[in-house]
Amino acid sequence: MTKPIEVRNPRTGKYDYVIIPPPPKLLAQQCNRIRRAQVSWQQLGLEGRIEALQQWKQAILSGRAQLTEALINDTGRLSISVLEIDSFLSSIDRWCGLAPQLLQESAKNTAIPFISLQQTSVPYPLVGVISPWNFPLLLSTIDTIPALLAGCAVIVKPSEIAPRFVAPLMSTLNTVPKLRDILTFVEGAGQTGAALIENVDLICFTGSVETGHRVADAAARNFIPAYLELGGKDPAIVLESANLDLATSAILWGAVVNTGQSCLSIERIYVAESIFEQFYHQLVTKAHRLQLAYPTIERGEIGPIISENQAAIINEHLQDAVSKGAVIHCGGKVEELGGGWWCRPTVLTEVNHSMQVMTEETFGPIMPVMAFSTVEEAVQLTNDSIYGLSAAVFAEPVELALEVAQQIDVGAISINDAALTAIMHEGEKNAFKFSGLGGSRMGPAALKRFMRKKAFLIKTNSTNDPWWFNHAE
Amino acid sequence: MTKPIEVRNPRTGKYDYVIIPPPPKLLAQQCNRIRRAQVSWQQLGLEGRIEALQQWKQAILSGRAQLTEALINDTGRLSISVLEIDSFLSSIDRWCGLAPQLLQESAKNTAIPFISLQQTSVPYPLVGVISPWNFPLLLSTIDTIPALLAGCAVIVKPSEIAPRFVAPLMSTLNTVPKLRDILTFVEGAGQTGAALIENVDLICFTGSVETGHRVADAAARNFIPAYLELGGKDPAIVLESANLDLATSAILWGAVVNTGQSCLSIERIYVAESIFEQFYHQLVTKAHRLQLAYPTIERGEIGPIISENQAAIINEHLQDAVSKGAVIHCGGKVEELGGGWWCRPTVLTEVNHSMQVMTEETFGPIMPVMAFSTVEEAVQLTNDSIYGLSAAVFAEPVELALEVAQQIDVGAISINDAALTAIMHEGEKNAFKFSGLGGSRMGPAALKRFMRKKAFLIKTNSTNDPWWFNHAE
């Protein structure tokens, strides 16, 4: 049996929403149903699939008010909820535009004169997506859209911490029967996620390293591909030559946007010692100006901490740092306001790698700043991490920044800005170390990883001898 | 502690060779050593790596006699040992020719005017290869060569059943110091393979489904990519319109070459009922003419069964089939000759999917032939398998064959010939079902799967505002 799950509101702290996970047997039936429907979805062809997605987009535009409201209640924030919907809608257009070229296939010449090669790709029938609470809509659809265009059916289990958006999203989906038959969202927590993996042909997971390991194990046991996008502890390196005003603005935003609740948040900052003081003064000045979005949601830049667990982790990291000698220059603690958990942008100095705040994912608006004396030291500190998601380098000229970037063991590096992958999805990148496993979520690979390649090898000469006869002589 | 392992000679049945697996600690040290040396190998650049591989090729040409002799003792066969070395040498040339283009990278335009994208790829430092006994040299090097060109260090553990080729191969390797430092072969059985996985950054495994599952589990636990190439039960479909002479010749060779000890052996044959009798008569006539390579290795086409375990499995499948009503038309049993195990090409009819010989990997020169009445039935029988490696379709015109091929759930399909992937490595293909997991071993993907993609995203406008400022307004 499965129990209802109470959902907490991040602004009020009240448990004001309930989700009801499907019993495992029902989930299996759901999966079977959409897996069967996938055959028609694939046969529909790319044009038909694009049409269905565009219809969905129109339905979302019509139901936008309800979706926005649900996302606001899920996350306690306003402008990012609006942005999530915008980004989601534009990702539909982006993929619909890219897919025709990516799915084009043609006969190829081969080096062997009597064999001709035709390549084709076929979708994995049923893709599972398990997504986190920090960008509930975006991260539940980032893999879903390309998988749908590839011709897969998709079943999504969003996080139980921010599930309110599912109901209005399903309403929009119900207006597009072709899509509704092969795409569904299920409510539930870890147990439902685990059951989902048992019923799909490929799993995409975005979330913590800890759960990522369990997903990898389950996928191996089920002998299905797993694409894992896990945590990060993204560093920023600021060289002496950096444009300081730009660096402090970009790093501040890269660290506190969405209250730091992003896998590609800047979570540690290494600054050349010659500009260290100037840097953190400027950073503190700018950080200090930012306001909480409280008591009204319309004001301020910093929303509530969505997950109560995460609030405890942020506090733990801060206390650990201070107990080991770190100095807090602004912000500095998680506080309760009106039932929600809040944290002002926090700048720390006197930090080192014995502190959790420099080594573990904090997922809050926390900016520990550390000085380095040589570029080698900066690179060594940067790579001294179990994570390898992304990074930022600030330096002039760009060539110097690129030289440093080459030495960093992460998948994406922003030069003279932070988290550019958040708006630029063309660059293929793989996660390093514990930050992930499997194909690139960005660039052309993002769509292609949902398909298997088939090769047709055709004997084209007219002799009755198989190739082996000529080869063996 | 690790015990020496006695190795059986497939022609004499005598245990005439010994391998000594490294203790786990020594293996870990070896891995660390070549992992450290990988940095120089990567820095050497592609030209330098190509030069080293070409030097190795020359050394192999010089040491060819010793290598051939060892392979003959490993496998009990002559012409295929010669062919293995030829194919290995030409794969070095092929990859050295392809790599420059595959590793080329360039700046790309992006849809966002103020961001420029540069892509680069970096090799996984240390690749592990675990390979089987059926083509000892070829299958221990098929992933190794592209991995080396990608810039990886490689540690290979060949099968303990056919390990004699390792010593002469290492001798050739020792003449190329740059390569010797980052490529090594270790002797051992399952325990050594398991220990190897603990020490590498990526694992390639070729072998049984059973062991493949264990490799997948271990890779997931270690959070490294696993590329698995496992078993097959490759079907051939012969439509009424097929060129019968061609079909019987190709299928015969596809089924008995290397005594059927190949993952892409034809192991089940579905023939249109209108030509069924004609087909199996012709197949039996041709099969009957083939000779065992016994008592001398120079005569005959059919070598000994290399693995004693496999001989028992072949016998089991034949007995199971006969007990359930199958009729043997030629061959039909595994016999002992001079201490080795041998099996003549065997044609069976009156077979069905209740028999192991139609559903489990036999890995012997066994050709069960079954009639079908409709193409739908043929496709249904073909897909009624836990395997999905490759297949063959015989029909005229080619378009009809392709139409059938489209419906088969396997990665590579030969049209009017068998096992064309054995000579044509340009076509990308993924294994379906239990036949494998991970990227394509063939085509450009074969090399690219040894590299991680890095994206450099460069802010190119000259404002001091990070992207977010413009994006949020």
pLDDT reading at B294 higher than 50: yes
Measured between CB atoms, which of B118, B221, B420 is closest to A457?
Answer: B420
pLDDT confidence band for A187 (50 / 70 / 90): very high
Are B187 and A187 within 8 A, CB to CB? no
**Distance from the B433 Cα atom to the nearest Cα atom in chain A, whole angstroms:** 8
A428 domain-assigned:
no
Task: Give A112-143 pLDDT, tens digit per residue.
Answer: 889 999 999 999 999 999 999 999 999 999 99
Residues of chain B with Cβ-Cβ distance to A426 below 8 Å are 108, 110-111, 117
Q: Is A170 on the interface with B (CB under 8 A)?
A: no
Cross-strand partners of A335: A342
CB within 8 Å of chain A, chain B residues 388-417: 398, 401-402, 405-406, 410-417
Q: What is the dihedral of CA A135, A32, A189, A64, to 10 degrees?
A: 30
What is the average pLDDT across A168-191?
Answer: 98
Distance CA A21, CA A100 (A): 37
What is the average pLDDT across A311-337?
Answer: 98
pLDDT given for residue B473 in this prediction? 38
Task: Give B451-473 pLDDT, tens digit per residue.
Answer: 999 999 999 988 888 887 765 53
Q: Is B428 on the interface with A (CB under 8 A)?
A: yes
Task: Give A273-308 pLDDT, tens digit per residue.
Answer: 999 999 999 999 999 999 999 999 999 999 999 999
pLDDT reading at B330 higher than 60: yes
Claim to verify: residue B75 and residue B151 sit in the same structural domain: yes
Q: Is B289 on the interface with A (CB under 8 A)?
A: no
* Residue A148, token pair as written in the block: 């749908």
B465 domain-assigned:
no
Annotated catalytic residue A263: yes
Q: How many domains does chain A have?
A: 2
Task: Give B20-60 pLDDT, tens digit per residue.
Answer: 999 999 999 999 999 999 999 999 999 999 999 999 999 99
Residues of chain B with Cβ-Cβ distance to A410 below 8 Å are 454
User: Which residues of B are tagged catalytic?
Assistant: 229, 263
Claim to verify: residue B453 and residue B338 sit in the same structural domain: no
Distance CA B131, CA B142 (A): 10
Claim to verify: residue B386 and residue B406 sit in the same structural domain: yes
pLDDT given for residue A423 in this prediction? 87
Claim to verify: residue A190 and residue A254 sit in the same structural domain: no
The domain that holds B295 is classified in CATH as: 3.40.309.10
CB–CB contact B402 A219 (8 Å): no
Q: Is A464 on the interface with B (CB under 8 A)?
A: yes
Distance CA B241, CA B271 (A): 11
Claim to verify: residue A10 and residue A126 sit in the same structural domain: yes
CB–CB contact A406 B253 (8 Å): no
Mean pLDDT computed over every residue of chain B: 96
Claim to verify: residue A414 and residue A441 sit in the same structural domain: no
Claim to verify: residue B72 and residue B103 sit in the same structural domain: yes
Distance in angstroms between the alpha carbons of the first and the last residue of chain B: 67
- pTM for this entry: 0.97
CB–CB contact A402 B221 (8 Å): no
Q: Indicate which residue of A229, A301, A360, A361 is catalytic.
A: A229
Residue A462, CB-side half-sphere exposure with 13 Å CA sphere: 1
A45 domain-assigned:
yes
pLDDT confidence band for B434 (50 / 70 / 90): very high
Distance in angstroms between the alpha carbons of the first and the last residue of chain A: 67
Q: What is the dihedral of CA B445, B446, B451, B456, to 10 degrees?
A: -20
pLDDT confidence band for A1 (50 / 70 / 90): low
Distance CA B198, CA B137 (A): 24
pLDDT reading at A472 higher than 60: no
pLDDT given for residue A470 in this prediction? 61
DSSP 3-state of A232: coil
Closest CA to B328 of B369, B274, B371, B276: B369
Claim to verify: residue A201 and residue A243 sit in the same structural domain: no
What is the average pLDDT across A51-70?
Answer: 98
The complex scores an ipTM of 0.95
Q: Is A107 on the interface with B (CB under 8 A)?
A: no
pLDDT reading at A211 higher than 60: yes
Q: Return the percentage of chain B with pLDDT > 70, whole number.
A: 99
Are A128 and A203 within 8 A, CB to CB? yes
pLDDT reading at A199 higher than 90: yes
pLDDT confidence band for A473 (50 / 70 / 90): very low
pLDDT given for residue A467 in this prediction? 82
Burial class (CB in 10 A: 0-12, 13-18, 19+), A83: middle
B469 domain-assigned:
no
Claim to verify: residue A378 and residue A365 sit in the same structural domain: yes
Claim to verify: residue B292 and residue B390 sit in the same structural domain: yes
Task: Give B377-428 pLDDT, tens digit per residue.
Answer: 999 999 999 999 999 999 999 999 999 999 999 999 999 999 999 888 999 9
User: Which site among A93, A223, A282 would you substitute to test the B interface, given the most B Cβ atoms closer than 10 Å to its Cβ?
Assistant: A223
CB–CB contact B413 A454 (8 Å): yes
DSSP 3-state of A69: helix
Claim to verify: residue B408 and residue B440 sit in the same structural domain: no
* Residue A57, token pair as written in the block: 């987009």
Q: Is B438 on the interface with A (CB under 8 A)?
A: yes
Quick one: closest CA in A to B412, which residue?
Answer: A455
A470 domain-assigned:
no
Claim to verify: residue A196 and residue A86 sit in the same structural domain: yes
Mean pLDDT computed over every residue of chain A: 96
Are B67 and B84 within 8 A, CB to CB? no
* Residue B50, token pair as written in the block: 């190509």
Measured between CB atoms, which of A83, A427, A464 is closest to B117?
Answer: A427
CB–CB contact B457 A217 (8 Å): no
pLDDT given for residue A471 in this prediction? 60
B429 domain-assigned:
no
Closest CA to A155 of A122, A189, A199: A199
Q: Is A470 on the interface with B (CB under 8 A)?
A: no
Total beta-carbon pairs less than 8 A apart between chain A and chain B:
231
Residue A219: which domain range?
5-230+435-457
Measured between CB atoms, which of A423, A467, A469 is closest to B423?
Answer: A467
Q: Is B44 on the interface with A (CB under 8 A)?
A: no
CB–CB contact B456 A225 (8 Å): no
B37 domain-assigned:
yes
Residues of chain A with Cβ-Cβ distance to B401 below 8 Å are 458
**A12-21, A198-207, B108-117, B152-161: the lowest-pLDDT one:** B108-117
Task: Give A387-438 pLDDT, tens digit per residue.
Answer: 999 999 999 999 999 999 999 999 999 999 999 998 889 999 999 999 999 9
Looking up tokens 């801060």 gives: A318
The domain that holds A164 is classified in CATH as: 3.40.605.10
A467 domain-assigned:
no
Measured between CB atoms, which of A119, A406, A443 is closest to B427?
Answer: A119
pLDDT given for residue B6 in this prediction? 98
